């Protein structure tokens, strides 16, 4: 069972919640699995709660929750205007040489093929792709926080909101997120995980039982006041980094 969420901020208009890894943001099928939305409805029975943003099941970190239809509308407008700024932390494979970089590469669905066995998997696709696959502009920015011989810690911001964007872009530059079953060393590990759950092979190849991506910080202006909320880096990521010899510095806000 996933850990319980943590409420970071309680405001009359919204909540900011730290979602643990392995917890679904919202129901994806009627199978009764625990979700953040269900947890919120149990914590605030009879009240309006609506997720403003969502995270993948394995991604931990900050989620914004509206507490009224009016707040949901206002926060939705801020989201569309890209006025809600979200920053992530990721442990990635390899030593990232650059202190700062921007990855500007269009993304789209790869399509099933012998090279890609996963239907939902995305990749970098040129606008004039010869196979006629569609792509959309995508831009991600990163800052190197720490770097060891085999692993680096990056701070990231997605300037566009494509599915799996940060994970795809990091794999594209040769630094996939640690523990990533889809965009890591072998996408077939994802299919094996679906069929067999976590195995010794997964542990040997991936190490962490989830991808090491954490929504660390969220910023937006509300009623004229700039608000910043942070969710500390989870223990599984800090422990894995230290075990791998990566010296973890204090995380500074930018």
Quick one: which of 8, 6, 19 has its CA closest to 229? Answer: 8
How many Å apart are CA 159 and CA 103, to the nearest integer?
Answer: 10
Where is the domain boundary, 33, 62, 83? Answer: 83
How many Å apart are CA 138 and CA 160, to the nearest integer?
Answer: 5
Asked if residues 60 and 18 have their Cβ atoms less than 8 Å apart, the reply is yes
CATH number at residue 20: 3.30.2350.10
77 and 96 co-located in one domain: no
Q: 177-195: per-residue pLDDT in tens?
A: 999 999 999 998 898 898 9
> What number of CA atoms fall less than 13 Å from residue 195's CA on the CB side?
5
118 and 239 co-located in one domain: yes
* Whether 56 is catalytic: yes
Q: Give the model's pLDDT for residue 27.
A: 81
User: What total number of domains does the chain contain?
Assistant: 2
The mean pLDDT values, 10 residues at a time, for the chain of 254 residues are 89 98 86 89 97 96 98 97 97 97 97 89 93 94 95 97 97 98 92 89 91 98 97 94 86 54
Q: Give the model's pLDDT for residue 16.
A: 98
Q: Give the model's pLDDT for residue 249.
A: 79
Q: Give the model's pLDDT for residue 3.
A: 84
Which one of the listed residues 13, 31, 56, 128 is annotated catalytic? 56
138 and 19 co-located in one domain: no
Q: Give the model's pLDDT for residue 254.
A: 45
Q: 75-85: per-residue pLDDT in tens?
A: 999 999 999 99
89 and 77 co-located in one domain: no
How many Å apart are CA 40 and CA 2, to the nearest integer?
Answer: 15
pTM for the complete prediction? Answer: 0.94
Three-class SS state of 242: helix
Question: What sign does the dihedral 16-21-23-27 (CA atoms) show?
Answer: positive
Q: Give the model's pLDDT for residue 240.
A: 94
> Has residue 52 been placed in a domain?
yes
Q: Which domain holds residue 129?
A: 85-248
Asked if residues 171 and 121 have their Cβ atoms less than 8 Å apart, the reply is no
How many Å apart are CA 78 and CA 4, to the nearest integer?
Answer: 28
129 and 27 co-located in one domain: no
167 and 208 co-located in one domain: yes
């Amino acid at each position: 069972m996933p850990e319980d969420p943590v409420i970071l901020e309680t405001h009359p208009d919204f909540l900011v919640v730290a979602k643990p890894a392995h917890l679904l943001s919202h129901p994806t099928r009627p199978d009764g699995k625990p979700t953040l939305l269900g947890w919120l409805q149990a914590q605030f029975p009879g009240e309006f709660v609506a997720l403003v943003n969502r995270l993948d099941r394995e991604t931990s970190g900050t989620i914004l929750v509206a507490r009224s239809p009016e707040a949901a509308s206002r926060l939705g407008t801020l989201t569309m205007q890209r006025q809600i700024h979200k920053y992530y932390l990721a442990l990635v494979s390899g030593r990232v040489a650059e202190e700062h970089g921007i990855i500007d590469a269009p993304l789209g669905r790869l399509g099933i093929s012998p090279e890609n066995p996963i239907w939902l998997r995305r990749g970098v696709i040129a606008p004039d792709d010869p196979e006629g696959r569609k792509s959309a502009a995508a831009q991600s920015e990163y800052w190197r926080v720490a770097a060891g011989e085999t692993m680096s810690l990056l701070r990231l911001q997605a300037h566009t909101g494509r599915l799996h964007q940060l994970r795809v872009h990091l794999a594209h530059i040769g630094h996939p997120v640690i523990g990533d079953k889809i965009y890591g060393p072998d996408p077939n590990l994802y299919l094996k995980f679906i069929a067999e759950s976590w195995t010794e092979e997964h542990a040997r190849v991936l190490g962490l039982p989830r991808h090491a991506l954490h929504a660390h910080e969220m910023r937006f202006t509300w009623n004229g006041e700039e608000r910043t909320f942070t969710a500390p880096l989870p223990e599984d990521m800090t422990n894995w980094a230290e075990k791998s010899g990566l010296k973890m510095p204090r995380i500074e806000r930018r």
